């Protein structure tokens, strides 16, 4: 832990803190050896903090791991044009969808090997954002189609029922 603190200090990095449960990991034991710790953190430098003054870190529910994913909420004070930008947000209910993991894996497949680690992370985050936004639109469109399909079914059922009533 001391080495970790040294790295943060040398890199001029600061822990962004958290909202919600403090602990991000547990040993998945159901007995007296149960342990939980705050292992996962989001850190940033002063320049980043200056741009994203209204940021915060939220611990999400873990679906398939004993580590809770972290969601960093970013709100820029002002865009270059003076408009407030809406930050992308991963929707927790997406994790319940079967295709969620596939969308994530596909977004992370191709990354340029000769890039700096920080730019690789940014590329992966941007790819994930784009993939999840596209997938989200497909889900919403599919939901609308399903509603229309059910409405048409109900109309047909009502017509069929009305004809049956008239024939009596």
pLDDT per residue rounded down to tens, the chain (168 residues): 788 888 888 888 988 888 878 888 888 888 989 898 888 888 999 888 888 888 888 877 777 788 888 888 887 665 545 555 566 777 888 888 888 888 888 888 876 666 677 777 788 888 888 888 888 888 777 666 556 666 666 676 666 666 666 666
**What is the model's pTM?**
0.43
Count Cβ neighbours within 10 Å for each residue of 4-32 and write b for 16 or more, e otherwise: eeeeeeeeeeeebebeeeeebbeeeeeee
The first and second tokens of residue 166, run together, are: 């008239």
pLDDT at res. 153: 67
Tokens (6 digits) for 105: 């894996």
- Secondary structure letter of residue 14 according to DSSP: E
What DSSP line would sit under 58-71, residue for residue? Answer: EEPPPSSSSBPPEE
Give the DSSP letter of residue 90. Answer: -
């Amino acid at each position: 832990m001391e080495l970790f603190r040294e790295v943060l200090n040398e890199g001029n990095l600061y822990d962004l803190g958290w909202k919600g449960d403090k602990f991000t990991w547990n040993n998945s034991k159901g007995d007296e050896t149960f342990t939980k710790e705050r292992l996962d953190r989001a850190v940033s430098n002063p320049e980043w903090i200056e741009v994203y003054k209204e940021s915060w870190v939220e611990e999400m529910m873990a679906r398939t791991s004993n580590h809770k994913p972290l969601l960093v909420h970013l709100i820029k004070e002002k865009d270059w044009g003076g408009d407030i930008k809406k930050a992308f947000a991963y929707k927790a209910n997406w994790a319940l969808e079967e295709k969620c993991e596939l969308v994530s894996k596909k977004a992370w497949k191709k990354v340029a090997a000769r890039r700096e680690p920080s730019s690789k992370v940014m590329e992966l985050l941007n790819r994930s954002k784009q993939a999840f936004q596209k997938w989200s639109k497909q889900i919403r469109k599919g939901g609308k189609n399903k509603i229309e399909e059910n409405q048409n079914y109900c109309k047909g059922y009502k017509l069929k029922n009305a004809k049956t009533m008239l024939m009596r």
